[in-house]
């Protein structure tokens, strides 16, 4: 059964990587998907940050291929594969959904995050940079993206003013990140990836300058680094 799961994970990874080829590129939800169009909302990272998907796709594909061809029957890899398969399978359909429905895309990305985090916690100690690291950066970016989706929903449906919605999204992202990083100090790539997103949010809020969102993002970066520093002592 271990070999079957290793094959399934690679298939799901291929489907996940192929998704942006089959669907238009994604750099945030279309503004017109919301009753209150989200034009440059403060919760949205600067566009360059989405380039991390290239690294995530390549690393997940490499790790999945290595897992199939070199570690297909390895018990240390076994536990992390079923939840990773579930996350990648959902992810293969996420882009087409995100083009037409922000609500369903939000539901799906939280499911992707939940299963990715389960996989990350179950990752073994061997082949760290091919087993654990790709899942860590994948889960880290999903943490940021899931929180951003909450902020967009709150602002886009007129439930809160955009800056307040962004602040709530940042609090959610930091609550998840700090909890995960504290309990999973062996995966620093997770926190670093969230920092990547926070820096991009700071960049996006330079013009016009949003002091509240920028301040919380800066404090979040400091908090993540502090947790990582405590873990390594």
Distances from the Cα of 218 to the Cα of 136, 139, 141, 212, angstroms: 22, 21, 17, 10
Residue 7 has pLDDT above 70, yes or no: yes
Q: Is the peptide bond before 160 cis (omega within 30 degrees of 0)?
A: no
Residue 120 has pLDDT above 70, yes or no: yes
Residue 21 has pLDDT above 90, yes or no: no
Quote the pLDDT of residue 26.
64
Average pLDDT value for the chain: 94
Using the 8-state DSSP alphabet, how is residue 105 labeled?
H
pTM of the model: 0.94
Section 168-175 average pLDDT: 98
Residue 24 has pLDDT above 80, yes or no: no
- Per-residue model confidence as pLDDT tens digits over 45-102: 999 999 999 999 999 999 999 999 999 999 999 999 999 999 999 999 999 899 889 9
Percent of the chain with pLDDT over 90: 85
Residue 28 has pLDDT above 80, yes or no: no
Section 200-205 average pLDDT: 97
């Amino acid at each position: 059964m271990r070999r079957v799961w290793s094959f399934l994970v690679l298939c799901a990874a291929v489907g996940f990587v192929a998704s942006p080829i089959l669907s238009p590129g994604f750099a945030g939800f279309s503004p017109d998907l919301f009753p209150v169009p989200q034009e440059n909302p403060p919760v949205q990272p600067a566009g360059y940050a989405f380039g991390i998907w290239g690294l995530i796709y390549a690393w997940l594909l490499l790790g999945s291929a290595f897992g199939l061809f070199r570690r297909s029957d390895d018990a240390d890899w076994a536990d992390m594969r079923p939840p990773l398969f579930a996350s990648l399978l959902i992810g293969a359909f996420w882009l087409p959904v995100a083009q037409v429905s922000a609500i369903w895309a939000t539901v799906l990305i939280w499911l992707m995050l939940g299963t990715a985090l389960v996989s990350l916690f179950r990752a073994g100690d061997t082949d760290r940079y091919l087993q654990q690291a790709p899942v860590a950066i994948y889960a880290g970016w999903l943490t940021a993206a899931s929180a951003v989706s909450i902020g967009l929903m709150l602002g886009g449906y007129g439930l809160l003013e955009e800056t307040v919605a962004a602040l709530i999204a940042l609090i959610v992202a930091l609550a998840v990140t700090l909890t995960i990083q504290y309990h999973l100090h062996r995966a620093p790539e997770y926190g670093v990836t969230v920092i990547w997103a926070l820096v991009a949010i700071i960049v996006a809020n330079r013009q016009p300058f949003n002091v509240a969102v920028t301040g919380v993002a800066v404090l979040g970066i400091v908090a993540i680094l502090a947790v990582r520093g405590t873990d390594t002592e």
